[in-house]
A and B are shown apart, each in its own frame.
Chain A
Amino acid sequence: MDVSFLFGQFLGGLTTAMFLFLIASGLSLVFGVMRVLNFAHGSFYMIGAYLAWQAMQWLEPTLHRFWLAALVAALGVALLGAVIERVLLRHLYGREELYQLLFTYALVLILGDAAKAIWGTQQLSVSRPPLLAGGLDILGTTLPTYNLFIMLIGPAIAVAAWLLLTRSNAGRLVRAAALDREMLGALGANVGAIYTGMFVVSSFLAGLAGALVTPIQSIVPGMDVEIIVEAFIVVVIGGLGSFWGTFWGSVIYGQVLSFGILVFPSFSIFSVFALMAVILIVRPWGLFGRPIR
């Protein structure tokens, strides 16, 4: 086992990690602020992927059409999120968490079938954008430029979100809303608008993640139900409601998966579940979360 090989494995894990972070970040934001576990986040991700594919069919084959398609997909899903939040979800905020959970599950059912009705049940796929079709040789391993792009966009989103949350006025309100919704409302802040904004940002991230995944994964019914489990594991490992926890959670997930496959090939995906089990037993609130109760 040489160093370049371990480095390659590390890079593979990091690609997986940053992809997952793109998805899990939105899930974590909504959970952290609104205390809603949004099962439909995976469905938004899937719709984003389908929308990107659709936009690719409509757009002229120019050099940059993939980026335009990704933007269309992200904005489309953000709009969908806005409508869902304003029309339906907001009526459930005062209700028990059971109703919110089942509401997002109802969305999973409806959006999943809607996607099947619109785009069919066959697997679809999108080619890599020509700009990022190549690969780089780093320390003796090949790193596809598209994977490098994903590795960079993950931290970029993390830093952007962190700056937004800590340095901006809106961010302060969001953090306040996460801590005490009633108090903030009593102080005259428009909590409803904050929640809507949060949900839209989260939907946008899901749609973007869905679009960006299309060049290296296939678009297929059922991807919604599967990805939400992975995103959920990341959020649980990192800590419930902790944004940076989600970031490090995805990094850990990626590396444990990657090196788990290397050391125990027959375990493959089981390693991350084992990790989650250990963390839940030692710290049920996750690595970066805070204990409740």
Chain B
Amino acid sequence: MSRCRILAAACLAACLAPFAAGAESTIKIGFPMPLSGPAAVYGAPVTKGAEMAVQEINAHGGVLGHKLELLERDSKASADEAVRLARELIIKDNVDFLVGTLTSAEAPAVSTIAKENRIVFIAPTSKSVQLTSPKNLHPYLFRLASNTDIEGHSAASIIAGWKEVKRVAIIAPDYAYGRDAVAAFIGYLKKARPDIQIVDQQWPKLGQSDFTPFITAQMGTHPDAIFCDVYGGDFVTFAKQAGPLGYFKAVNNRLVDGGEVGTTDEAQALGADYPYGIWSDAYDPVIWAGDEPPEHKAFIEHLKAFTHEKYGSGWAIMGYSAIVALTDAIKKANSTDSDKVSKSLLGLTFDTPVGKRTFNAKTHETEMGEFWGQMVKGEHYPFAIISNPKYLAVGPFTD
């Protein structure tokens, strides 16, 4: 029966293993975020933004005399992985707060972990309304991002403005984000333009590598305009396959993408393959058309120096602002206790590079909007930029 002895030894090892976690005086923030795969096109710059905020805050002495520490983990845009990481961050690394996750598949899963462990969780980018629906909302969950209702409304208002459009097709990733945004979009569009017909809906998966059959099937229904929610690395693949098939040309570029493909990050990833002329959004247009607020200018300059990149990112603002909001809440609560910080987050107003935002005390959301506009070839930039970006929070888009 010697085998059992090994088993006993293994169990003993399990008991004795990790007592390493020391008693440093840092405030630990767990940060699960997709850093590999198609979603990393957005996840990596969000992380950079968070890193920059941490560096800035620590340079000014930290919070309540403690330095911030960001524990980054690659969630691979998978709900399963995000849950595993979140639990490990809480149980093994003893993080004080969770900030992160990109997709609306990861965020609701991590939210349940935050609730169970009574730890504040700020979701910087997930948009699905299900995340904060009354059934799922709990005291520790806060959303910095916009939501699918706002997105669907904004996109619908753009398409509704095109009088000649009668037939609209939809393509969106088949999970919470795509489904909720599409439901909101259809709801608002039906109200604004009862004469418009939804002729087709395609549901590729997140991380689809071959969109060709989806594209050709959609083109066969002869839409006049398209609402699209394919985003990140997936949109790079999508655009590369759809362009040569004449997909964008067939609708005269009347495609509205609510998945932030208007960010400089997406535009740089696609380069010359970008389908110029489509409409999209970004939390931060980076390249400002009119009077640029000084705090935005300073933010982008600092970001460029921090990342050693020539152009700023349209996503960094979300990681950056999430950390700023959390820090403000810790200061206001004068504590790192999640119960106190979650209370001080209610109704908290904080600065972002594009203006003040407030966590609604009832919905736990900022209900922020985004900058929308048509994507054009920039004069001074080797990639697509939003021409004349308009901030839309409640819509409608008027032009």
Contact = CB atoms under 8 A, between A and B. Distances in A.
A121 B77 CA distance: 13
B373 interface: no
Contact of B219 (A8, A135, A221, A257): A8
Contacts, number: 118
Q: What interface size band does chain A fall in? A: 35 or more
Given A8-B220, A265-B201, A125 B245 contact: no
B38 A1 contact: no
Interface string A154-197: 00000000000000000000000000000000000000000000
Nearest to B213: A258
B237 A261 contact: no
B235 to A, nearest CB: 10
Contact of B217 (A125, A134, A265): A265
B202 A220 contact: no
Interface string B212-235: 111111011000000000000100
Contact of B209 (A122, A125, A226, A268): A226
Interface string A60-81: 0000000000000000000000
Contacts of A12: 212-213, 215-217, 245
A91 B83 CA distance: 41
A121 B202 contact: no
A193 B216 CA distance: 46
B216 A8 contact: yes
A221 B201 contact: no
B238 to A, nearest CB: 10
A217 B211 CA distance: 9
A122 B268 CA distance: 13
A168 to B, nearest CB: 34
A interface SS class: mixed
A121 B37 contact: yes
Q: What interface size band does chain B fall in? A: 35 or more
Given A13-B213, A262-B220, A265-B200, A121 B40 contact: yes
A15 B212 CA distance: 8
Contacts of B272: 127
- A127, A215, A216, A226 — which one has the most chain B CB atoms within 10 A of its CB? A216
- B174, B205, B209, B215 — which one has the most chain A CB atoms within 10 A of its CB? B209
Interface string B116-138: 00000000000000000000000
Contacts of A1: 220
Contacts of A133: 244
Contact of B216 (A9, A135, A220, A266): A9
A20 to B, nearest CB: 9
B377 interface: no
A7 to B, nearest CB: 10
A268 B281 CA distance: 27
A144 B245 contact: yes
A19 interface: yes
Interface of A: 1, 5-6, 8-9, 11-13, 15-16, 19, 116, 121-123, 125, 127-128, 133-135, 141-142, 144, 146-147, 215-218, 220-223, 226-227, 257-258, 261-262, 265-266, 268-269
17 contacts: A9-B213, A16-B212, A19-B210, A121-B35, A121-B74, A122-B41, A127-B273, A141-B216, A142-B246, A218-B236, A222-B36, A226-B207, A257-B213, A262-B217, A265-B217, A266-B203, A268-B174
Given A6-B220, A217-B210, 8 more contacts: A12-B215, A16-B213, A121-B36, A128-B244, A135-B245, A222-B36, A261-B214, A265-B202
